[in-house]
Structure 1
Amino acid sequence: MAMQVSERTVFRVHRQVNIEGDVHSPAKKDKKSGSGPAQQETDNFQEGVIRRRIHRFYTDRELPTMDKLILALQQDIDYSYSKQTLLKTVKKMGFKYTTRNKKTALYEQHRIIAARHHYLRQIEKYRDEGRSIVYLDETWFNAHHILERCWTDYDGKGGLRVPSGKGGKLIILHAGWKEGWISNADLVFRGKKGTGDYHQEMSTAHFMEWFRERLIPNLPATSVIVLDNAKYHNSVVEKIPTKRSTKKDMIQYLDSHEIPYDKKLLKAETFMLIKARNPASQYLTDVFANLHSHDVLRLPVRHCELNPIELIWAQVKGYAASHNKDFTMVGIEPLAREGITQVTAEK
C-alpha cells in the first residue's frame, strides 16, 4: 500500500478531494459577542504537515516563531488560515510558546515527545520481530463530494451542476497492511446525523461488533493492530474512579476488588487508597485482541500522519470525487466501494 509521492503532492490531492465542508468544522459564532466570523479549524492531515514543518526548523537549527511558521506553510502548502487559528492549532497539538535566550519560539511538550518516541520504538520492535502490522481507521465524505477544480470555459461556464449543501454522509471503516486491505474487513454505511464528523456516527457497540466479527477473524496470525485514540477505540472494561468521581463509586470499586478500607475515611482519603494501587485501564480492544494472540498499539494523540492509511483515504476519496455524477447516496456508495478496490499492495 506504499505510495511513492511527495508530501506536497499528497497534500494537494487531499485538498482536491475534500470540499469545503469536509475540511472545516461548522461555522461557530463568537461566544462573547454572539456574532463574528466563523472559527476555522485545521484537519488531522494538516496538523501532521504543521508538526513536521516545526521539527524541520529545529533540524535546520532555526527557532520556529509563529511568523516564520505561517510564512513557511503558505509557501509549502498554500496555508490560508489566520495566525490566530494557527496558534490555537499548535497549542492543541501539544506545543507551547516559550522564551528561550530572550527569543520566543515553539517548543513541543515533553509528554508529546515521550509518547511519540514510545510509539516509534514499539513499532520498530514489532517490525524486527517480523510481526504483521495492521492499520485501521475511519473516514467519511458526502453525497455531493466532487473535485474542487475542473476545466471550464474562460467565462466560467461548463462543469457539473452540484446541488447546494453537502448531501448525505457516508462512513467507511477499514484496515490494511503491507499486503493490501484485510479481506472482508470493509464497513461502509450511511450516516444518520446531518452535522458533525463521522466520530459522532460511531458507537462503542458498533465499532466492537466490527472489530470482533470483521477484523479479528481475518487478521494474519499474531498481528499488531495500530489505531488512534477515538473514544470508541478506548472504551474500558472497567471504569477506574478519578478524584472527580463520587465517594459511592469509589467505595464500589474498593468493594469489587476486595480492598480493605475504613468507612470513616473522607472522600479524598478513599481516593488515595485507589491511587496507591495504581490501577491501569484495560481497553476492550486490547483484551479481545490479546485473546486471539494479537496486540494493540495506539498512535500518539493528534499524530494521524503516523498512520499510512490516511494516504490511502485520499486515494479512495479522489476516485469517488472524480467519478461522482449524480450526487446521491445511491450513486456515491458504490463509488466508495470501487475506490477501495482500486487500492492494492502496489498502488
Structure 2
Amino acid sequence: MSNQKKVVHSQGREIIYNVYKFMKNEKDCGEVSIPLNRLQERVAEATGVGICTRRRIIKEAENKPVGSKFTSPRKNINQPKPKQSVDQYEEEIIRNIIYTYADIHKRRPTMKAVFEAVKDEEGVNFTGKIHSFRRLVHKIGFRWKKTQDNRKTLVEKFDIKAKRVEYLRRIKRYREEGWNIIYCDETYLHSLHTSPEAWDDGSNRCLKAPVGKGSRFIILHAGGATGFVPNALTIFKSGTKSGDYHHEMNSENFMKWLTEKFVKNVSAKSVLVVDNASYHNVPVQASPTSAWKKADMQKWLMERGIFFEQKCTKAELYGIIKVHKPVHKIYKIDQILAESNIPVLRLPPYHPELNPIEKIWALVKNHVAAYNTTFKLDDVRKLAEAKFEAVTVQQWQNICSHVEKIEVEYMKREYIVDEVEDLIISINGEESDESDFFLSSDEEQVDEKEVQGGSSSSNLADFGCELLT
C-alpha cells in the first residue's frame, strides 16, 4: 500500500462514512442484513450510491488502464453568450458617462457603478457582462488609478491624453489661420445591409432580412465643412483581384486614391485629417528596432546628426534611438502631400467622435438599410452613390460644428485634470510618474466588493480624484 496521502473530497468522505455505518450496523445486530450473494444490493446499500451510478463507476474501472485514476464527470457550464459589440458612437457615450459620472452622481466612477450607468443609458445597446465591459473600457483607453487611500478610480492613459491635446491645439491653430479642414476615412457596406426589423402579422409573408451579409463594398471618401471633395468618392468590391481598387483596402490603394483623386481635387490651403490605420501611416524608411545591428544603429544616428559616444553599447544606442525615433519618422502620406503643401493631422487613438465623416457614413448606411429591398450589389452601390450626392454642405457644417464643440469640451477638461493632479501631488508630498498611477493587469482584476467597499471619502484628495473624470 502506498504511504502517499490522498485528499478525499466531500463525496468520497460521505461514501466512506456510509460504508462504516453499514458495517457497524451489521456488527451491532450480529447478522448480515443483506446476503453476501446479493453483491450489487450490498454495495448500493453500503455506499449510498444509486444503482445506475454504481454501474457506470464499475464499467469505468474495468475499462480504464491499470494504475490510472478515476475521472470526475464534466460539468455542464452555461457559457455566457458573446457580448454585443458597440459602435463608435456608443463608445463616445460610454466615454462621456465616465467623464461626467462624478459630477452627476457625486461618487467615484468605479467599474461596477459605470457599468450600471451604461446599462441604464438608452443610447448604448450593450448586452455583455461586467467582465466584457471591463475589456471594452480598456479598449477605449481607460485604466485604473490608485488614489491616496488605495482605492481606485478610472482615468485615461497619459499617452492618449497627450496625443489628444496635441491634436486639439494643432487643429485649433489651423482653423484660426483659415485652413480648410478635410477628413477622410473608409467604411464597409454589404449587399445584404438592411434594417433588422419590419412589421409582421405572423404570416411570414412580409419582407424578410436575408441570412448573412453578402458581398461587400469598400468606400473611401473625404470632406469637411465645405462639403465633399469633388470626385473623391471611391467604391470598390472587396475580395477580388481584378483591376485597380478591386481588392481589399491596403496602403497601395490608399496612396493611389490620395494621388489620383484627392490631391487633384482638393481646394488650396487644406489640411487632411486621418486616423491611425496602418495603411494610412506607412513609413518611408524602416525605423530601427532592437534587432538591428550595432553598426546600422550608429549609421542611423549619424545620418540624422544625433550625438552618441563611440563606446556606447547596443542597448545604450537603442535607448537614444527611441528618444529621437518619433521625431525622425517620415510617412509616405506626409511626403506625398507635402509636395502640394497639404499638412497631415492624425486623430488621437480611440477618438472616432472627432471625425465628422463617421456620421456621414451613418447617414449613407441608414439610407441603404431603409431602401435596400433587392439585396443586389449593384443596387446597393446605386443607393449609396445617390445618398452621397444628396448630402448637403449644410449637413456637413452641422456635423463639423458638433465636433468642434466636442473639441472645446475636451480642452476644458484637460485644464481641470491638470489642476487636480497638481493638487493631489501637493497633498501626497511627493512626485509620481505614470508607473505609479497605472496598475498591472493582475492588479486590475480586483473583487468588485473591494472596489465598492469603504465609506464615502471626504478629504480633499478623494474629491480631487473624482474631478479627474
Per the TM alignment, residue 156 of structure 1 is displaced from its structure 2 partner at its CA by: 6.5
Higher normalized contact order (CA 8 Å, seq sep 6+, divided by chain length)? 1
Asked whether the equivalents of residues 226 and 296 of structure 1 are also in contact (C-alpha less than 8 Å), the reply is yes
Which residue of 2 is the match for residue 161 of structure 1?
Answer: 208
Whether 1:291 and 2:339 are equivalent positions in the alignment is yes
Aligned partner of 1:104 in structure 2 is 152
* More helix per residue: 2
Asked if the contact 2:196–2:209 (Cα under 8 Å) also holds between the matched residues in 1, the reply is no
Residues 1:141 and 2:186 aligned together? no
1:63 correspondence with 2:63: no
After superposition, residues 145-294 of structure 1 pair within 5 angstroms as 145-153=193-201, 155=202, 157-192=204-239, 201-245=248-292, 247=294, 250=297, 253=300, 267-272=314-319, 274-275=321-322, 278=325, 279-294=327-342
Q: In angstroms, what is the RMSD of aligned CA positions?
A: 2.8
Checking the alignment, whether the CA contact within 8 Å between 1:162 and 1:327 is kept in structure 2 is: no
Q: Are the equivalent residues in 1 in contact too, given 2:190–2:214 (CA < 8 A)?
A: yes
Larger Rg: 2
Q: Give the match's secondary structure for 1:231.
A: coil
Moved more, 324-333 or 264-273: 264-273
The residue type equivalent to 1:207 in the other structure is: F
TM-score for the superposition, normalised by structure 2: 0.60
Unaligned runs of 5+ in 1: 1-32, 194-199
1:74 to 119, 139, 142: 119
State the match for 1:49 in structure 2: 93
Separation (CA, whole Å) in 2 of partners of 1:162 and 1:132: 42
User: In the alignment, which residue of structure 2 is the partner of 1:93?
Assistant: 140
**Alignment check: 8 A CA contact 1:216 1:289 kept:** yes
Unaligned runs of 5+ in 2: 1-76, 241-246, 396-469
Q: Matches of 1:244 and 1:39 in 2, distance apart?
A: 39
Paired with 2:341 and 2:306, the residues of 1 have a C-alpha distance of 31
CA distance in 2, matches of 1:318, 1:268: 54
- State the AA in 1 paired with 2:97: R
Q: Deviations over 1:279-299 (max 9, x none)?
A: 521111112212111111111
Contact 1:119–1:298 (Cα < 8 Å) also in 2: yes
Between 79-88 and 173-182, the greater mean CA deviation after superposition: 79-88
SS for the counterpart of 1:346 is helix
- C-alpha distance 82-276 of structure 1, shift in aligned 2 (>3 A): closer
Answering whether residue 363 of structure 2 is matched by residue 315 of structure 1, we say: yes
TM superposition score normalised by structure 1: 0.79
The letter for the 1-side match of 2:88 is N
**Contact map agreement 1:138 1:172 (CA 8 A) in 2:** yes
Deviation digits for residues 231-276 of structure 1 (CA, Å, limit 9, x no counterpart): 0111111121022445575466468669899999753244346457
Residue 411 of structure 2 corresponds to none
8 Å contact 1:247–1:267 — kept in the other structure?
yes
Q: Distance in 1 between matches of 2:84 and 2:129?
A: 8
Q: How high is the sequence identity, in percent, across the aligned residues?
A: 35
